[in-house]
Amino acid sequence: MRKPIIAGNWKMNKTPEEAVELVNELKPLVADAACDVVVCVPAVCFAAVKPLISKRGCKIKLGAQNVHWADKGAYTGELSADMLKAAGVEYVIIGHSERRQYFGETDKTVNKRTVAAINAGLKPIVCVGENKEEREQGYTDTIVSYQTLMALTGLTNEQVEGTVIAYEPVWAIGTGLTATDEQANETIGVIRQAIAGKYGKRTAAKVRIQYGGSMKPSNVKGLMAQPEIDGGLIGGASLKAVDFSQVVNY
């Protein structure tokens, strides 16, 4: 059985002081969580959040929202995997659709970031997904399969098993739209089949694949009841402790 993982993507929200307030409110609400719980916070919040979640018994793990592929160098504004590790980060989101849309992220750079994260001992949450036009034209399966296999290029079976994939239909992010339970399950099944085709069924069966398109308290039960869905990458609902905890405790 794959252990579910619910990760909050705070995006460009919360100062360190606001982060402390949110995490302190969240901690008791997810104290009995049966899934892995991650908060992917802005880098300026690492130092504020890490001490709060390092205490024994806390279920929350620290995540980052991006990582560079180089160990060091002239990459102004970037953070290396070793820097994230030193800050106490355990998970890192890679290839989010907003990174692809606004900052020139490509399938090639997603792969480079993924390899760098794994080599440093971080756990990648790799995002894949189609836009509205691509879905309407029937390219969803091709696109998510290609993006997934490109991201995993060069990894061993064991490394693939430790990678989290987040299926985020671009047309359902921040729009209020959500794929139906069946649509999400079907596409995540396609992703798993693509992994199985290259790495074998045993490896594919161990990979956790999240749904990342506007999962929230009102739809989490239906989505999480689907056999292929192993959790969620949560945007807006992760910024409110009560809402996020209701997703975690679905």
- pLDDT (tens place) for every residue of the chain, 250 residues total: 899 999 999 999 999 999 999 999 999 999 999 999 999 999 999 999 999 999 888 999 999 999 999 999 999 999 999 999 999 999 999 999 999 999 999 999 999 999 999 999 999 999 999 998 999 899 999 999 999 999 999 999 999 999 999 999 998 876 777 789 999 999 999 999 999 999 999 999 999 999 998 899 999 999 999 999 999 999 999 999 999 999 999 9
- pLDDT value of residue 196: 98
Catalytic residue, candidates 96, 105, 130, 228 = 96
Secondary structure of the chain as H, E, C letters:
CCCCEEEEECCCCCCHHHHHHHHHHHHHHCCCCCCEEEEECCHHHHHHHHHHHCCCCCCEEEEECCCCCCCCCCCCCCCCHHHHHHCCCCEEEECCHHHHHHHCCCHHHHHHHHHHHHHCCCEEEEEECCCHHHHHCCCHHHHHHHHHHHHCCCCCHHHHHCCEEEECCHHHCCCCCCCCHHHHHHHHHHHHHHHHHHHCHHHHHHCEEEECCCCCCCCHHHHHCCCCCCEEEECHHHHCHHHHHHHHCC
- The one-letter code for the residue type at 162 is G
- pLDDT value of residue 172: 80
* Catalytic residue list contains 96: yes
Residue with tokens 């009560």: 242
CATH number of 5-248: 3.20.20.70
Catalytic residue, candidates 98, 105, 168, 228 = 168
Where are the domains positioned within the chain?
Answer: 5-248
- The one-letter code for the residue type at 80 is S
**Which bin fits 224, alpha (ψ -120 to 50), beta or left (φ > 0)?**
alpha
Contact 145, 190 (CB under 8 A): yes
- The one-letter code for the residue type at 75 is Y
Contact 171, 180 (CB under 8 A): no
User: Using a CB cutoff of 8 Å and minimum separation of 24, what contacts does 142-147 make?
Assistant: 144/187, 144/190, 144/191, 144/194, 145/190, 145/191, 145/193, 145/194, 146/107, 147/95, 147/107, 147/110
